[in-house]
Amino acid sequence: MANRLYLTGARLIDGTGGPPLERATVVIEQERVTGIDTSGESTPAGFAHIDLAGRTLMPGLVDAHVHVTAFDMPSVMKGQEAIAPEVKHHFIAAGLRRMLRMGITTVRDVGAFGDDLLYARRAVRLGAIPGPRILVCGRIIAATSAGGRHFAGMYREADGPDEMRKATREQFRRGADFIKIMTTGARSCELENSSPAQMTRAEIATVVEEAHRMGYRVAAHCEGLDGTRLAIEEGVDTIEHGLELHRAPELLDELARSERILVPTLSCFFDVSENRDAAWAPGLVGLAVRQREEAHRTVEAARRAGVPLAMGFDSQPHGKNALELVRLCRAGLTPMASIVAATTTGAMACGIAAHVGRVAPGQVADLVVVDGDPLADPELLLDGARIWLVIQSGRPVAGAALEASLPGLPFREAGVTTDPVPALAGRPVS
Ligand SMILES: [Zn+2]
């Protein structure tokens, strides 16, 4: 049956940063937005009408830096059944479902363990499980390094331009949507020094040349300034973290001039520096405190320089991705600028801004309707009860409105329940 929706009365934030449109009508036909107006005409025949008066309509959120498969599995007690690797697929699916429920309609995954995420991407595309659109990098391409051992299964280590080219081609073969490289080590691995450049200029140049010739974009993990500089000079498309860039205004100017994107990932520095479960090695916590300070200075300097910023949560739990949007606001962006980072600029980071990231005729109808005004109160994006409706490719797929048949029930964050009946094989349960 034809999918035709007529959404009326909303306050429309279109994702471009322009002023909101009051009492907007948004027309959806099949998968795309086909019209926007404010004339308030009644719903034409053949369209399903959804009244959005008092609510805000905006593009579905794009998270430009996630690790969908990087989460802690539940621990089991002695004597309990071990959790087979195959069970992890269901947890991956649960994480994707939570993200979609919270209005995240596209994610760019910048590093996954093994091929699990490729299977999840396939399952989402086939409609087997609900989830955001997923862009994958295959394996992260890195120099032979301690990180390659620490993040076993996530990296493809390679040394010298020829191996780098081969490693890049392997990701095309695997089905990558883009290429991710490590220009520096990772702060989250105690054995790595994230200050010096870990890849050589020639290695980075080779990956970028190979990827761009074949039509792929390149994302670069950048902590220390030396690797960040090489990435920018050799044409990488998105700078991930980039926290030391405030020290090099000329590099920020170059990013702004060439309209390349910085993904500041403030949340990952909060995670390690706050060290809530006392889980992190002490040396890394101290480093993260300093890096968090630098990352905030870089957001401020990048904003002043006019660098496009994209929202990347790079953190857990899945579904709370908009916490990064809130943190960008606290770091000095206006709520509107933070929303642009989480929509239009995120889509640019993904290379799919021609299709998603804005509410405009011709764009795919990935939309989120929220209760209230996120410009006045961005934190409402963290409240599932206020994520009223999520529309994906023109179809309502999630949100409080779809759960409202029994109003007043508490929003279930996790979407997971455990069975109170014990698993005691072969024993009667009295
Ligand atoms: Zn990351």
- What's the gap in Å between 316 CA and the centre of ligand 1? 11
Give the whole-angstrom CA distance, residue 211 versus residue 233. Answer: 16
CA of 268 from ligand 1 middle (Å) equals 8
19 CA distance to ligand 1 middle (Å): 32
> Ligand 1 centroid vs 119 CA: distance in angstroms?
20
Question: Nearest to residue 262, comparing CAs of 304, 293, 319, 199?
Answer: 304
- DSSP character for 48? E
Q: How big is the CA angle at 327 (ends 324 and 332), to the nearest 5 degrees?
A: 130
> What distance in angstroms lies between residue 293's CA and the mean position of ligand 1's atoms?
18
Instruction: State residue 107's pLDDT score.
Output: 98
Amino acid at 26: V
The span from the CA of 369 to the CA of 390, in Å, is 6
Question: Is the separation of the CB atoms in 251 and 305 below 8 Å?
Answer: no
Q: Ligand 1 centre from 332 Cα, in Å? A: 22
pLDDT at 411: 58
CA 140–ligand 1 middle distance (angstroms): 11
CA of 5 to the centre of ligand 1 (A): 37
> Ligand 1 centroid vs 112 CA: distance in angstroms?
10
Which phi and psi (to 5°) does residue 172 adopt? -60, -45
| 186 CA → ligand 1 middle, Å | 9
Contact 310, 352 (CB under 8 A): no
Residue 16 C-alpha to ligand 1 middle, in angstroms? 26
Query: Separation of 334 CA from ligand 1 center, angstroms?
Result: 24
If you measure from the C-alpha of residue 63 to the centroid of ligand 1, how many angstroms do you get, rounded to a whole number?
A: 12
Query: What spacing in Å lies between the alpha carbon of 414 and ligand 1's midpoint?
Result: 22
Residue 128 and residue 87 in contact, taking contact as beta carbons nearer than 8 Å: no
Report, as ranges of residue numbers, the positions in the chain whose pLDDT lies below 50.
414-415
Give distance in angstroms: CA of 417 to centre of ligand 1.
29
Write down the pLDDT at residue 421: 76
